[in-house]
Structures are given as structure tokens and as C-alpha cells.
């Protein structure tokens, strides 16, 4: 075979590879935005205005880089990042004023996220309450003081006791407060598990009372599953469109003797696959902060156990610092998640991505060249919203190109997606046509280059369950200095 033939084959293979790596039009792109200890936010503790500007800067960067989901930490260990009647506001929040004038971080995060077309999911730490020093700092507001009977101290740390059904009731009051008061897009549970304790958690008394002949491991798994079922029912009764998800350990169970000693099912009693099977979860974001043989087989296993609901692997961007991972370790995982049709990627944590650790943000610019829509939750609703109509396109006196349209949909939570194509041969499943998603208002503008090209602009509606309408009739516009 001559050199020219080899070169042609390589070019053809490169073309096929590029074609097969077309970006998806629908994909969750999420970060965990950590407020505990101010790891991602807030860094500044001197001014409420500084804290607001810090958060806006983070959200602006996420929007710029075509992320679409923020997992915003609203509960750490027995303290919260919103104005609550149940638990104390974290001391790192500068909350000047009283009543309606108080700074409510969750309200602010939701409003600013939605302005940018980002979903905002309330991320809660479930059972851990912290060490003695932290618990004492919360004073009489700590649940360890208000109702110590549902707490346990274990190896210097305090925990809500998953085996006590009254613990469920307490956690559900917190969830109800958030879902009722705030326009969150999701409830996302973390540390929804027993400590890594090799069976030593001090719950023998409750086990004798409630075990009913089960092994202790099965009883513990059933305790967590019992709460998850109540959680799902509670959220859906208040706002059925709010996504219920959690972040289980990255390895669901031992596979061929690999992963033994640190799995969700066996070590910390999270039967997350069962939650998906029972339909008491909309999505899983497993914390897959491993690589190579401890990543790929376990992602395959999660796919098997996802019950066709949303599965988004959590990628350990922080491991590029802590364990000296290469950038390629992360990008290979993105490639694999796309090749195997997961529903996106989530990154722990926001700062590790946005600070461009080892060039990760530069790489994501290539992966996330276009905005992406969110996957529909068809098991909750499969109704298709009406498409928009009466689209107008014009360039104003300042050179700003503006699109406007009307919608017959009465749901105040609908969002809009904008597409642009050079021809009327158009598909809303092709990411290259998407120029905006998650718009709250029937309006979109940008400074379009006058390149003497004509475009068809299309609009669709997405409802609260992310079901997307048919495309509108197009608006046609010729981008030129010459009026035509």
C-alpha cells in the first residue's frame, strides 16, 4: 500500500471519527456549586454585595461556556443557605436587613440562574450534622439540641439516624419548605447514606425494634429507600415537575471482585438502582471520581440499572489536583459518557472547572460549542406544548438583532429554544442549529455579524418537564448592511 493510500485512509477515518463525535442537542451539563466552607461560593465574607457579585460571576461563566444546570448547595451540616424557619442560616452568609430585605442566597441563585437559562437544583446534605465544635456553634438551633432522639454520635461526628422514621419527618419538613417557597428546578440529595463504618453505626436498639427478621444490611438499605420514597411522593404532591435526584457513591456494587470495600449498595447501604426501578427517582448523578477500570465498568452498570431515567456521571475534576490526574482522564470520560448515551456530565466542583484546572475549561469549549437542551421527563408528563407563532426578526438602530414571538402556553415556567439555519432543511436534533436554550421571555437578541448570509430562525417551547414543542414557522432574515 502506497503512502497516498494510507493518507487517504487516515483522512477518511478522521472524518468518520469527527462525524461520530457530533455533539448532542440534548445533554445535561452540570456543576456542583459548593457553599460548604465557601469552597466555591462565597469567598468574600465582608459584604452582601460582594457575595452577590461573586455568584453572578460564576453564573455568567457557566452560561458563557454553555452549561445548563447548577446543583446549588442549600444545606450543609445542619445549617442552610436560605431563609429557613427550621435550621439556621450559615454564618458565612452576610445577611443584612430583616424580613423581606434579608439576603436570601437561594432566591438570588434561582433568579440569577433563570435569567441566564440555567436550571437551579437545591442540593442538600442529608444525614451528616458535623463534629462537636460545629454543632455547638449552631447553639439551640441545632437539631442535636431541638430533638436529640433522632440523632446519633459516631466517631466524633453527629448524624441524623436513618433508622428512625421520625428522621424522615424532620428531613421532609426541610424539603417541603424549599419546594413550597422557592422556584427550584430540582431537589438533589447528597450523603443520603450511612457513614462508611463497616457496620458499626450505633443503631442496634432500633434494629431490634424495627428489623423484623431482616439482615441489618437489608434493614439499613430499606431505611434509606423508605425515606427516598417519601421524599419523592412529597415533592411530586407539591410541584410534580421538580426533578428528584441524588448523588450516590460512584460504584453501585462490587463487579468481578473490583471495587470491594467502597460501594453504594454494600458499604453505605444506598440501593440507588432500586430507587430508579421503583420510580422514586428522576435522575442519578453518581459520584464517579475514579478512572480506568474503576470508572468504565461501573458507568456501564449504572446504565443497566437506570430504568431509562436520567443518568449523569459525576466527574472528579478536583482529582486533577488531589490525585494529579491528567486532563485526558477527564476528557476520555466525557467521550465515553457520550458514546454510551448517558444524559450528560456533572463536575465536582465548579471552581475546579471554572479556574481552568489543567486546561479543562479550554477543552470544554470544544465539547460544549453549542447550547444544549435538557432531557424530557416523559414518565412525569408526555404532553407536548404548543409551538410559538408570530415570529418577527429585525435589527434595531444600535445594530442589535432581535427576535420576538408569541406563545399560547399558559404555564409560567415554560422556556424557549432558538435555532438558526441557512436553509429550511432543518432538524431540532442537530446541535449545530441551536443558538439559545432556557429563555424565560419570548425575546432573544444578539449582535449578529453582517456577513451577507441569510438565515431561517425557528423557535420551540419546552415545558416544565422539558418536553419540546414542534418548531415554529421560521422567520427569515438577511444579515447585510444593505437593507433588503
Q: Would you give the distance in Å from CA 46 to the centre of its chain?
A: 29
Q: Does domain 23-367 have CATH number 3.20.20.80?
A: yes
Asked whether 477 and 401 are in contact (CB, 8 A), the reply is yes
Asked whether 291 and 331 are in contact (CB, 8 A), the reply is no
User: Measuring CA to CA, which residue among 12, 35, 120 is closest to residue 69?
Assistant: 120
Asked whether 293 and 259 are in contact (CB, 8 A), the reply is no
What Cα–Cα distance (Å) separates residue 81 from each residue in 35, 87, 102, 163, 346? 8, 10, 12, 27, 21
What Cα–Cα distance (Å) separates residue 389 from each residue in 377, 444, 460, 474? 25, 14, 9, 9
Q: Does domain 389-479 have CATH number 2.60.40.10?
A: yes
> pLDDT value at position 432?
97
Q: Residue 5: which residues within 8 A CB-CB, separation 6 or more?
A: none
> pLDDT value at position 259?
61
> pLDDT value at position 256?
84
Residue written as grid cell 466542583: 349
What residues does CATH 2.60.40.10 cover in the chain?
A: 389-479
> pLDDT value at position 6?
38
> pLDDT value at position 257?
76
Q: How far apart are CA 275 and CA 380, in angstroms?
A: 16
Q: How many CA atoms lie within 13 A of 382 on its CB side?
A: 2
What residues does CATH 3.20.20.80 cover in the chain?
A: 23-367
Cell numbers at 328, concatenated: 485526558
For residue 214, cis peptide bond before it (omega within 30 degrees of 0): no
Note down pLDDT in tens along the chain; length 484 residues.
Answer: 444 443 333 444 343 333 346 899 999 999 999 999 999 999 999 999 999 999 999 999 999 999 999 999 999 999 999 999 999 999 999 987 665 668 999 999 999 999 999 999 999 999 999 999 999 999 999 999 999 999 999 999 999 999 999 999 999 999 999 999 999 999 999 999 999 877 799 999 999 999 999 999 999 999 999 999 999 999 999 999 999 999 999 999 999 877 677 899 999 999 999 999 999 999 999 999 999 999 999 999 999 999 999 999 999 999 999 999 999 999 999 999 999 999 999 999 999 999 999 999 999 999 999 999 999 999 999 999 999 999 999 999 888 999 999 999 888 899 999 999 999 888 999 999 999 999 999 999 999 999 999 999 999 999 999 999 999 999 999 999 875 4
The overall longest dimension of the chain from CA atoms, in Å, is 83
> pLDDT value at position 97?
61
Three-state SS letters, the chain: CCHHHHHHHHHHHHHHHHHHCCCCCECEEEEEECCHHHCCCCCCCCCHHHHHHHHHHHHHHHHHCCCCEEEEEEECCCCECCCCCCCCECCCCCCCCCHHHCCCHHHHHHHHHHHCCCEEEEEEECCEEEEHHHHHHCHHHCHHHHCHHHEEEECCEEEECCCCHHHHHHHHHHHHHHHHHCCCCEEEEECCCCCCCCCCCCCHHHHHHHCCCCCHHHHHHHHHHHHHHHHHHHHHHHCCCCEEEECCECCCCCECCECCCCCCCCCCCCCHHHHHHHCCCCEECCEECCCHHHCHHHHHHHHHCCCCCEECCEECCCHHHHCCCCHHHHHHHHHHHHHCCCCEEEECCHHHHHCCHHHHHHHHHHHCCCCCECCCCCCCCCCCCCCCEEEEEEECCCCCEEEEEECCCCCCCCEEEEEEECCCCCCCCCHHHEEEEEECCCEEEECCCCCCEEEEEEEEEECCCCCECCCCCCEEEEECCCCC
> pLDDT value at position 127?
98
Write the burial class of residue 154 (CB in 10 Å: 0-12 exposed, 13-18 middle, 19+ buried): middle
User: Measuring CA to CA, which residue among 294, 285, 339 is closest to residue 314?
Assistant: 285
> pLDDT value at position 13?
39
Write the burial class of residue 74 (CB in 10 Å: 0-12 exposed, 13-18 middle, 19+ buried): buried
Q: How far apart are CA 312 and CA 337, in angstroms?
A: 8
Asked whether 332 and 367 are in contact (CB, 8 A), the reply is no
Q: How far apart are CA 450 and CA 326, in angstroms?
A: 42
Asked whether 320 and 357 are in contact (CB, 8 A), the reply is yes
Asked whether 61 and 354 are in contact (CB, 8 A), the reply is yes
What Cα–Cα distance (Å) separates residue 304 from each residue in 193, 255, 431? 22, 13, 27
Indicate whether this model's pTM tops 0.75: yes
Amino acid at each position: 500500500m502506497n503512502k497516498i493510500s494510507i493518507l487517504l485512509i487516515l483522512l477518511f477515518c478522521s472524518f468518520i471519527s469527527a462525524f461520530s463525535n457530533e455533539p448532542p442537542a440534548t445533554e445535561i451539563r452540570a456543576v456542583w456549586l459548593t457553599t460548604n466552607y465557601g469552597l466555591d461560593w462565597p469567598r468574600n465574607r465582608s459584604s452582601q454585595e460582594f457575595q452577590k457579585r461573586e455568584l453572578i460571576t460564576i453564573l455568567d461563566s457557566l452560561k458563557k461556556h454553555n452549561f445548563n444546570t447548577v446543583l446549588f448547595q442549600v444545606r450543609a451540616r445542619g445549617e442552610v443557605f436560605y431563609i429557613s424557619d427550621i435550621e439556621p442560616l450559615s454564618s458565612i452568609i452576610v445577611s443584612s436587613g430583616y424580613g423581606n430585605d434579608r439576603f436570601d442566597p437561594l432566591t438570588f441563585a434561582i433568579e440569577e440562574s433563570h435569567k441566564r437559562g440555567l436550571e437551579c437544583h437545591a442540593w442538600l446534605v442529608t444525614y451528616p450534622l458535623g463534629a462537636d465544635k460545629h454543632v455547638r456553634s449552631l447553639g439551640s438551633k441545632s437539631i442535636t439540641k431541638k430533638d436529640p432522639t433522632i440523632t446519633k454520635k459516631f466517631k466524633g461526628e453527629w448524624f441524623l439516624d436513618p433508622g428512625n422514621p421520625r428522621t424522615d419527618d424532620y428531613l421532609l419538613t426541610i424539603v417541603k419548605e424549599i419546594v413550597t417557597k422557592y422556584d427550584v428546578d430540582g431537589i438533589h440529595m447528597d450523603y443520603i447514606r450511612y457513614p462508611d463504618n463497616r457496620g458499626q453505626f450505633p443503631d442496634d436498639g432500633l434494629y431490634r425494634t424495627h428489623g423484623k427478621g431482616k439482615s441489618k444490611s437489608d434493614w439499613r438499605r430499606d431505611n434509606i429507600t423508605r425515606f427516598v420514597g417519601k421524599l419523592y411522593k412529597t415533592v411530586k404532591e407539591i410541584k410534580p415537575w421538580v426533578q428528584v435526584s441524588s448523588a450516590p457513591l460512584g460504584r453501585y456494587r462490587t463487579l468481578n471482585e473490583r471495587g470491594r470495600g467502597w460501594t453504594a449498595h454494600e458499604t453505605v447501604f444506598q440501593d440507588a438502582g432500586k430507587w430508579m426501578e421503583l420510580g422514586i427517582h428522576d435522575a442519578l448523578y453518581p459520584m464517579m471520581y475514579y478512572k480506568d477500570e474503576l470508572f468504565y465498568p461501573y458507568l456501564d452498570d449504572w446504565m443497566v440499572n437506570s430504568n431509562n431515567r436520567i443518568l449523569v456521571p459525576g466527574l472528579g475534576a478536583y482529582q486533577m489536583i488531589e490525585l494529579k490526574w491528567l486532563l485526558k482522564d477527564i476528557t476520555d470520560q466525557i467521550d465515553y459518557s457520550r458514546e454510551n448515551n448517558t444524559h450528560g456530565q456533572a463536575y465536582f466542583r465548579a471552581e475546579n472547572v471554572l479556574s481552568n484546572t489543567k486546561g479543562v475549561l479550554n477543552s470544554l469549549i470544544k465539547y460544549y460549542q453549542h447550547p444544549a437542551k435538557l432531557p424530557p421527563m416523559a414518565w412525569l408528563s408526555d404532553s407536548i406544548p404548543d409551538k410559538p407563532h408570530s415570529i418577527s426578526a429585525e435589527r434595531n438602530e444600535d445594530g442589535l438583532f432581535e427576535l420576538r414571538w408569541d406563545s399560547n402556553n399558559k404555564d409560567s415556567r415554560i422556556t424557549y429554544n432558538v435555532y438558526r439555519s441557512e436553509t429550511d432543511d432543518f432538524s431540532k436534533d442537530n446541535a449545530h442549529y441551536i443558538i439559545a436554550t432556557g429563555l424565560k421571555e419570548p425575546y432573544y437578541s444578539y449582535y449578529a455579524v453582517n456577513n451577507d448570509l441569510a438565515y431561517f430562525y425557528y423557535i420551540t417551547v419546552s415545558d416544565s418537564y422539558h418536553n419540546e414543542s414542534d418548531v415554529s414557522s421560521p422567520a427569515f432574515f438577511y444579515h447585510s448592511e444593505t437593507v433588503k
